[in-house]
Amino acid sequence: MIAILPDQQVAYCGEAGAYAEQALMRVFGENTPKLAVSSFPGIFDAVLQGTACAGVVPVENSLTGSIHENYDLFLRYPGAVIVGEYKLRIVHCLIANQGADMESIRTIRSHPQGFAQCREFLEKHPDWPLEPATTTATAVTSVARDKALSIAAIAGEVAAKIHNLKVLREGIETNPQNYTRFAIISRRTGGTAPALSGSFKPNKASLVLSIPDKPGSLVECLRILSEKGINLSKLESRPLVGRPWEYLFYVDVNIPGEEGIFDSAIAELKTKTLNFYFLGSYEASL
C-alpha cells in the first residue's frame, strides 16, 4: 500500500463504482480522498497541476492487451512517472434498471474495453447496438439516469449496487482470467523520484525506445539486457505519430537485485537509441 498525506487525493477516470476506483482503494486504502475526472488525460492534468498527488490509469488487460491511448499519454505528459502497478480481477456484469429482463434489452452501453472483453457473450446477441461510454461506471450512471428498461450496461457489480440497479447476468467476460493492470502515476521531482511518501522497493521498470532504422538495432538493445541478466517481460511496438513506418518500442523489464546492474544497462541503452524515455521504476505487485 502506498502512503499519502491526509489532505491529498488520488485521481481516477470515471465515477463511483468504476474498476479504477476499486484499484485505487486496494492500493491506497478505502478511506483515501478520491478525485473523479472525466477523461484519462484529466488524470495526468490533475497530477501534474498538483490537484492530486497520484493517479490510477489502466494500461493493459489480460484479454485484450495494451490500452494504447493511455500508454501514449506518458509521452504527452513527460512530467508523470509510474510509481506502482496493481492488477485487478475484472468480473463484468450485464446491468439494467429494476423491472428489466433479457427480453426487454435492446441497447448495451460500456467502455469499448468492456465490449471487447465480453465479445463472446455479445456475439450471442448480434441485434444489440453497442453505445460506447467513457468508462463502465459512467455507462451504469447513464442507464440509471435514463430509467429505460431497454438499455443495459456492462460493468462491475459495485456500480450496480451504488445505483440500485439489477444484475441480469454475472461473469459475462469471455475468459475468467480477466485482469486489468493499472499504473499508479505521480509527478516527477528531481529526475525520476516520485512525489509520494511510502516504502518503495522497485523490481520492475517501464521504458520507451526509438531506434535507428538499420539491421540489428533492436537486437543490440536486447543483447544489452540479456548480457546483464535483465529479464524482458514485455516488448511492444507502436507507430510513431506523424512519422510513417517509424516505431516506438514499449518495454517492461525486471530490475536485478544486485546494485548498479540496472543503471549500467540504462546508460548503455541510451547510446544505442535515438530517443529514450524512462516511464518509471516500481514494485511489480502492490
Task: Kindly state the average pLDDT of the residues 47-67.
Answer: 93
Residue 8 DSSP symbol: -
Residue 82 has pLDDT above 60, yes or no: yes
Contact 222, 211 (CB under 8 A): no
Residue 200 has pLDDT above 70, yes or no: no
Residue spans per domain, the chain: 10-88+178-187, 93-170, 204-282
Three cell numbers, residue 142: 447513464
For this structure, is 192 an active site residue? no
For this structure, is 180 an active site residue? yes
Domains 10-88+178-187 and 93-170 are alike in CATH topology:
yes
Among candidate residues 116, 137, 134, the one with its CA nearest the CA of residue 65:
116
Sheet holding 107-110, edge to edge: 130-132, 107-110, 151-155, 93-96, 166-170
Please name the fold of domain 10-88+178-187.
D-Maltodextrin-Binding Protein; domain 2 (3.40.190)
pTM of the model: 0.87
Q: Give the confidence band of 195 by pLDDT, cuts at 50, 70, 90.
A: very low
Question: Of these residues, 135, 138, 180, 273, which one is catalytic?
Answer: 180
Which of the pair, 77 or 6, is modelled with greater confidence?
77
pLDDT in tens, 84-134: 999 999 999 999 999 999 999 999 999 999 999 999 999 999 999 999 999
Instruction: Collapse the DSSP code of 30 into the 3-class scheme (helix H, G, I; strand E, B; otherwise coil) and give the result.
Output: coil
Contact 278, 205 (CB under 8 A): yes
Please name the fold of domain 204-282.
Alpha-Beta Plaits (3.30.70)
Whole-angstrom Cα Rg for the chain: 21
What is the pLDDT, as a whole number, of residue 284? 82
List CB contacts of 176: < 8 A, sequence separation 6 or more. none
Which of 2-6, 39-43, 161-165, 166-170 is predicted least confidently? Answer: 2-6
The Cα–Cα gap between 240 and 142 comes to 36
Q: Give the confidence band of 259 by pLDDT, cuts at 50, 70, 90.
A: confident
Question: Of these residues, 28, 40, 44, 182, which one is catalytic?
Answer: 182
Query: Interior CA angle at 151 toward 143 and 15, to 5°?
Result: 25
Mean of per-residue pLDDT scores for the chain = 91
pLDDT in tens, 177-189: 999 999 999 998 7
Contact 140, 161 (CB under 8 A): no
What is the pLDDT, as a whole number, of residue 190? 57
Superfamily, domain 93-170:
Periplasmic binding protein-like II (3.40.190.10)
